[in-house]
């Protein structure tokens, strides 16, 4: 089976050490986490969104192993076609002159980005969207000079009324 990208969503206890336990389980199985985002939910728990690359059987095994961890409340894989998937990036771009500044601001607008910081020699642009959109924006900015880059990793929810429910 071919490797593909998988999104694993988990509701977990919102307490210290849970992220360590989950990431350590991946480490023990020599599995790389492409991205991970964690934050509180409306229910007082935390939600982890983990992106991994692998074949279906390996990812199924990882999900089963995750479900066995004490602090995991619920875990499942998300289908990319049936989910809203977003990522955020902050991109600091070198601005040598006013022409470059104007061009970067126009490109940011095209990508529906926002300029969140301005200095005489740089701009920081906030861009949200799919990973492909963010990758395209970063590639475009490379010609100006990307000074720094920070990305959140993917976060995702199932479309429509379906949700990851606690039993």
Q: What is the pLDDT of residues 9-62, one digit of tens each?
A: 999 999 999 999 999 999 998 889 999 999 998 888 999 999 999 889 989 999
- Set out the domains of the chain in order of their start, with CATH numbers: 4-78 (3.30.70.260), 84-155 (3.30.70.1150)
Q: What is the model's pLDDT at position 80? A: 81
| Tokens standing for residue 10 | 């988990």
Confidence of residue 167 (pLDDT cuts 50, 70, 90): low
End-to-end CA distance of the chain: 32
> What ranges in 2-146 are assigned the alpha helix state H?
18-28, 56-68, 98-110, 131-142
Q: What is the model's pLDDT at position 42? A: 87
pLDDT digit string (tens) for 123-155? 999 999 999 999 999 999 999 999 999 999 999
pLDDT digit string (tens) for 58-97? 899 999 999 999 999 999 999 888 899 999 999 999 999 9
Q: 32 and 52 in contact (C-beta within 8 Å)?
A: yes
Strand partners, 78: 7
Strand partners, 49: 9, 37
**Of the candidates 132, 94, 92, which has an alpha carbon nearest to the alpha carbon of residue 115?**
92
Strand partners, 146: 93
What separation in angstroms does the CA of 85 have from each of 23, 38, 68, 71? Answer: 21, 14, 26, 25
Q: What is the pTM of this model?
A: 0.84
């Amino acid at each position: 089976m071919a490797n593909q990208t998988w999104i694993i969503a988990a509701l977990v206890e919102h307490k210290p050490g849970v992220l360590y336990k989950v990431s350590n389980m991946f480490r023990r199985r020599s599995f790389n986490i492409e991205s991970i985002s964690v934050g509180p939910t409306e229910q007082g728990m935390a939600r982890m969104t983990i992106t991994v690359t692998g074949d279906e059987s390996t990812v199924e095994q990882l999900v089963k192993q995750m479900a066995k961890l004490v602090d995991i409340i619920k875990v499942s894989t998300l289908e990319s076609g049936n989910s809203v998937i977003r990522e955020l990036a902050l991109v600091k771009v070198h601005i040598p002159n006013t022409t470059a500044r104007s061009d970067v601001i126009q490109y940011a607008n095209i990508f529906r980005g926002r300029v969140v910081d301005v200095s005489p020699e740089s701009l920081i642009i906030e861009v949200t969207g799919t990973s492909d959109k963010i990758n395209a924006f970063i590639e475009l900015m490379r010609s100006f000079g990307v000074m720094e880059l920070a990305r959140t990793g993917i976060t995702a929810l199932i479309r429509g009324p379906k949700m990851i429910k606690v039993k």
